[in-house]
Structure 1
Amino acid sequence: NVVFAKKQIVPTTVTIREADRTELFIRRHIEMPAGSRCCKLHTVDKRLIPEAFQSLAPHKVQYRLFSRQALINLLKSYRTRLNNNKHLDFDECMCLTDADYIKLTGFTRAQHAHTLSHIPPTSLKNSATRSARSALAYVLMKLKLGLSDSVLTSMVGVNSKRQMSRIINEARVAVTKHFVPRYLGLAHLTRQDVINKHTSSIANRLLTEG
C-alpha cells in the first residue's frame, strides 16, 4: 500500500512592530517581547488589525522590572495617543476597524493599502502634517461622504481648510495618475480577459452565430 502524506502549509509570519506591542500593553495590559511574530493574515500593511488585538490572550502572568527609559518611552507613546485620540487617525492601526474604514472611505483596510501600493512615494510623499496613507483616506472620504474641506479639516485635525484642499488635490492627482488607469476602461485588460470574464452570453451569440 502507498500512503500519501499531506503537506502541511505553514503560513508566512511577520515581526510585530514596536508600535503595536506598545499599543497592546496600553490597551490590554499584555507585554509582548521584542521580536515576537504573528501570522501575516492578522496584519494589513505590516500592522496588526484591530480584530487581532482583541483576540490576543496572555500566555502567562509574571512580574517584570522596567528600565527608566522604557517607562519614559511608554509614557510618551501614551501621551501621543491621547493627543491624537480626538481626531480620526488612519495611521494608528487600533483607531479604526474594517467597518469604520468602509463607512468612511468605502474601502476596507486591505483595499486601502492595496490602492496605496500603486502610488509611488515620490508621487504622494509623507509630510510633517499628514502621511500618504492619511492623504488617500481624506480624498476617499470626500468622494464617499461629499464632505466640505472645512468639515474634513475638523474631523481629522488638519491645521486649516487651505491645507486640507492642498492635501486632497495632491492625493487626487496621484490616484488619477497611478491607480485609476489600472482599473478604468479596457486598457488594463487583455483581449482574452474580455472574452473570458466580460462577455455576456447574449454578446457571444450575437458575435459568434451567423
Structure 2
Amino acid sequence: TQPPEQVLAADSSVEEVQPPVQVHAVDLPVEVIQPPAHVIAADPPVEEARRNQLEPTIVLPDYMRAIETERRYFIEGQRTERYRVPLSTRKMLLSRYKYYVPENNRLCDRHLVIEAWDFLTSLRNNYVQTFTAKHIQDMMSLKEVVQSGLLNFKNIDEMEDHIVHTWIGLNKTQFHQMFNEELALAAYLIKLRTGDSNERLSTLLAVSRRTLEKWLHQVRDLLYEYFVPRHLGLHHINRQQIVQRNLSVPKTLFGNFEGVDRPIVIFDGTYCYIEKSSNYSYQKMTYSLHKYRNLMKPFLMVCTDGHIIDVLGPYPATTSDADIMKNEFSNGKPLREYFRQGDAFIQDRGFRDSLPLLHQCGYRTYVPAMELICTNVQLEG
C-alpha cells in the first residue's frame, strides 16, 4: 500500500489546492472616501499644535484664527466638495471680523457666496488665538488691500473667477471687453477711416456684429454729447481766438481792416461719399452729376491755421456752395449774428452767386479772379 502522499501525487484528477489570496486595500484619495462634511469636526487644536510645535507662537486677543487644515472645512460644511477659500473672502473676514483664515483652508460651495459671517464668534471649537510668524506675515499682506465686500467690481481682477461667473455669467476677460471704452473708440475710428463692413470689423475685433453696431451707436452719441460741444461750433471759440489763429501771410494780406485785426475764415464744402440708396427720392437727392456718385456735402468753416470752427450740414449733393452760403447767412441765422462787418471770408469761385448777400452784410470776400480775355483772331484765307 502506497502512502497517502504518493496516492495524491499520482492522482492527476485531483486539483492542487491553492493558498487563499490576500486582497490588499487600495489607497483611495481622501476626497473620494470623505464622509459627509456635516459630521466631520475640525482638526483638534492638539493636532495643530503638534504640527507647529517647532514654530514659536504669539497670542493676539483681538483676533481669531481658523484651525489650519486642508482635509476638512474650517467651519461646518453642507457639501462633500471642498473649495479653497477665495482671497477676497479671506481679506473680507480679516478686515471686517478680525478672523484670519490660512491660505490652504477649505470651504463648501454654499459658504463661498454668503455675505453674513456674524456666526463666526459662536464657533468656539473652530478658531484659536495663537499665531505664528508665517500667519502674521500673511495677515499683513491681506491688510494691504482691503475690499469693500465679496462683490467688488471696481477691482474685479482681485475677485475669484468662479464668483465673477456666478454673479454676472461672464469671466473677467469678457467683462473687461464689455467695459473697455478704448476698444469701442478704436472700432469707431477704424470704421470712419476704412469704411469696412460691420461683418469684417467684427471679425477683426473678435466681437459679434451686434455688439460692434451697439458700440458704434454709443460712441457716436457720446462724441456728440461731450466732444462736439468742446471742439466744434461757434460757442467753443470766440472772435478774438480766431484772430489769434491768423497766420502771418493771411494776416498781412487780409487781416487788417481800418487798423483793427479781424477774423479770417475759409469757407468750403467737401464730399462724403455714401452708398447708393434703394429709396428713389433719397437716391435722387444724393446723386451728384458733377462727381457721378452718391454723396453728402459737409460745409466747413476753418481758420487759416487749419483749426475747424464748425461743420454745417450735411447738405444734399444737389445743393451748391453758393446756396449753402446764402442759407447760412440769411436773417436770423447764427452765422449772421456771430460775424461782423469787416470780417474776411476766403472762398472759391463756387460761391460767386452768394457774394452780393455777403457784401450787403458788410463782409469782405476774397475770391480768385478770373478775367475773360478776348482776342481777335484774324483768319487768313
Normalised by the size of structure 2, how large is the TM-score?
Answer: 0.22
Larger radius of gyration: 2
Normalised by the size of structure 1, how large is the TM-score?
Answer: 0.36
Is the strand fraction higher in 1 or 2? 2
Is the helix fraction higher in 1 or 2? 1
